[in-house]
Amino acid sequence: MPDNAYKLIPADFDPVPSLKTLADSSVTAVTTLSTELGAIGIGVSVSGEVPSALGLAREALEAQGFEAKVGQTLIVPQRSGTTLIAVGVGDVGGVAGSLTAANMRDIGAAFARAAHRSSRIGLDVVGATTLDSEDSGRLLTEGVLLARYRFNELKPSSKHVPLTALEILVPADEVERVSAGVRTGCVTARATCLARDLANTPPGYLTATDFGNIAEKLGPQHGLSVHVFDKEQIIAERLGGLLAVNAGSVEEPRMIQVRYTPDDATGHLALVGKGIMYDSGGISLKPSDPMHLLMKMDMAGAAAAFAAMTALKELGCTTRVTAFLMCTDNMPSGSASKLGDVFTVRNGMTVEIQNTDAEGRLVMSDALVLAAEEKPDAIVDIATLTGAALAALGTHTAPVLGNNQELVDQTKASSAATDESIWQLPLEHRYRKQLDTEVADISNLGGKFAGATTAALFLNEFVDGVPWAHLDIAGTMQVDADDLWRSQGATGFGARLLTDLALNFVPPATTKS
Ligand code: BES
Ligand code: MN
Ligand code: ZN
């Protein structure tokens, strides 16, 4: 962190506080819950016996509006000691009601929120459910840790109680398998919280330079080699898009290259992340509405890609993964790129800038060229690219587009496994002409409609036929209010999806679809 006294950055500011919080919290599978817990969650299904430990009949629960649906909880205060919480687990026995993985994560999250006053909590739901025990351990861990996340670093007045212990009650013969799931869940939750921290950090506190420093520090701790390119090296590498966006900023850009190289790799996946540390719009200045306030999170794609990289070694990933994170802010100034300016991408293509607020695709173009030069089996990019993605699918679901159906299908499978929802939009090539201009090879601005598609068509120009999928996370990067495992603020969307994708990656056939 540079010495920026004028920015009033506290000397002890920790840009990734979750790493410490999570390191301090222990998650264990136990056969008896310890006695000093603040709250214990007890699973209740919609029909059948109510566990006697709750000491209440179903009618009493229902009288309070508790129907035992997934996501429902009811606090049952006790005369003294540990609070009990009824935790709905849905229709476990019913044919239509078999619990999904997403349900199980939601159950953990709902309980963790209901127990927000307690730092040490225990959960007795595994016996009431039917899921595989390793999956249960992982899903409950993710749900609880992600729900208890909060970015508090700059709010000394916060009353938030950090989680220090989660005990998951299991039968003796399942301790080992649940524990294995817990270990996985701790890694994926930690990665997600890292992505959230990076996106939640104010823009003055996390510049491209800072991001590079953090990557250099954390990378080696997770078996990654990190190479940070400074402005001089970026010029030498001819990354014209990154430089064009950075032109108006007093902060230097950074291109962060991260490599995970397992022995006997089973494939090579390249990731590309949009790292706009703050998107003012540049000369095409954004209006001062609440949306503008979110633009410190315009690096959420780079954060998610980097975070996913930090999970690979511990989870035994056999895919080689190379990430390119394109970091700069997008600022107006006397030196900023102007409308009508033309720059040259690393591959020699020229781009006319018709709107400086369509900056994401400019920095991504160089990165996609760099990625394609490595001749990987596939490229997946992740970017807070267009307001059109938010308009089309809202804050729960991100558009995915690509040039290879096998690869897109793999991203969909990872989406389903992680409950980071995506939906495929067609890469409609008939809209490509919207990007034509008399002045250069391509314009960075499409027409009025299908903005997420024209942005993807722009990116498609730079992947050189390599199987490629694009995740537009402009809508899903943040939530306004707590919602199960999504905590208010940056969601870290993509960190778990990309981790799962790398873990299960199979090189797709290279025939285009
Ligand atoms: N970072 C924004 C997209 C965005 C919008 C992210 C809302 C998160 C929430 C991006 O750089 C942008 O400004 N896109 C423009 C593109 C347009 C000028 C073609 C947009 O979507 O309006
Ligand atoms: Mn923009
Ligand atoms: Zn942007």
Question: Of all atoms in ligand 1, which is nearest to the CA of residue 451?
Answer: 19
Return the half-sphere exposure (C-beta side, CA atoms, 13 A cut-off) of residue 361.
28
Top CATH class, 201-474:
alpha beta
Q: Which atom of ligand 1 is nearest to the CA of 286?
A: 13
CATH code for the structural domain at 14-192: 3.40.220.10
Q: Average of pLDDT values for 376-390?
A: 99
Mutate to test the pocket of ligand 1, among 299, 386, 457 (most ligand atoms within 8 A of CB): 386
Q: Which of 385, 390, 457 to mutate for ligand 1's pocket (most ligand atoms within 8 Å of CB)? A: 385
Task: Compute the distance between CA of residue 493 and CA of residue 122 in angstroms, rounded to an integer.
Answer: 27
Q: Are 350 and 437 in contact (CB under 8 A)?
A: no
For ligand 1, atom 8: residue with the closest CA: 474
Whole-number Å distance, alpha carbon 141 to ligand 2 midpoint, is 36
| Separation of CA 226 and ligand 2 centre (Å) | 27
Residue bearing the CA closest to ligand 1, atom 16: 358
Sequence-separated (6 or more) residues with CB below 8 Å from residue 217: none
Pocket test for ligand 1, best of 357, 470, 471, 478 (most atoms within 8 A of CB): 357
* Mean pLDDT calculated for residue range 443-468: 98
Are 14-192 and 201-474 the same fold in CATH? no
- Cα of 99 from ligand 3 centre, angstroms: 38
Say how many Å lie between the CA of residue 441 and the centre of ligand 2.
21
Q: How many CB atoms lie within 10 A of CB 112?
A: 28
Task: Give the active site residues.
Answer: 286, 361
Task: Quick: pLDDT tens for 208-260.
Answer: 999 999 999 999 999 999 999 999 999 999 999 999 999 999 999 999 999 99
Distance CA 324, CA 92 (A): 44
Retrieve residue 459's tokens: 């990116």
Write the CB contacts of 17 (distance below 8 Å, at least 6 apart in sequence).
Answer: 151, 152, 153, 197
Reported as a single tens digit per residue, the pLDDT across 317-370 is 999 999 999 999 999 999 999 999 999 999 999 999 999 999 999 999 999 999
Whole-number mean pLDDT of the chain? 95
Helical residues (DSSP H) of 148-246, grouped into ranges: 175-200, 208-218, 231-236, 240-246
Residue 8 pLDDT class (50, 70, 90 cuts) = confident
Atom of ligand 1 nearest to the CA of 297: 8
Protein residue with least CA distance to atom 9, ligand 1: 474
Which atom of ligand 1 is found nearest the CA of 360?
A: 11
Spacing, Cα 248 to ligand 2 middle (Å) = 14
User: In the chain, what are the domain boundaries?
Assistant: 14-192, 201-474
Q: Could you say which DSSP state residue 154 is in?
A: T
Chain centre distance of CA 473? 9
**Residues with CB in 5 Å of ion ligand 2:** 279, 357, 359
Distance between alpha carbon 281 and the CA centroid of its chain, in Å?
23
Q: Whose CA is nearest to atom 3 of ligand 1?
A: 386
One-letter amino acid of 265: A
**pLDDT reported for residue 1:** 47
State pLDDT tens for residues 196-207.
999 999 999 999
In this predicted structure, what is the pLDDT of residue 94?
A: 61
The string of DSSP letters for 339-385 reads TT-EEE-TTS-EEE-S-TT--HHHHHHHHHHHHHHT--SEEEEEE--
Task: Place 11 in a pLDDT band, splitting at 50, 70 and 90.
Answer: confident
User: Cα(119)–Cα(38) distance, rounded to whole angstroms?
Assistant: 7
With cut-offs at 50, 70 and 90, classify the pLDDT of residue 93: low
Q: Give the ligand at the shortest distance from the Cα of 455.
A: 1
Indicate which ligand has the atom closest to the C-alpha of 444.
1
Residues with beta carbon inside 6 Å of ligand 1? 279, 291, 294, 298, 355, 357-360, 384, 386-388, 390, 445, 451, 474
Residue of the CA atom closest to atom 6 of ligand 1: 474
Q: At what angle do helices 495-504 and 405-418 cross, to 10 degrees?
A: 120
Q: In what order do the strands lie in the sheet with 225-229?
A: 225-229, 254-260, 320-330, 268-279, 378-383, 468-472, 398-402, 422-424
Q: How confident is the model at residue 6 (pLDDT cuts 50, 70, 90)?
A: low
Using an 8 Å Cβ cutoff, are 494 and 303 in contact?
A: no
CA separation for the pair 241, 228 (Å, rounded): 17
Cα–ligand 1 centroid distance for 242 (angstroms): 17
Q: If you measure from the C-alpha of residue 296 to the centroid of ligand 3, how many angstroms do you get, rounded to a whole number?
A: 9
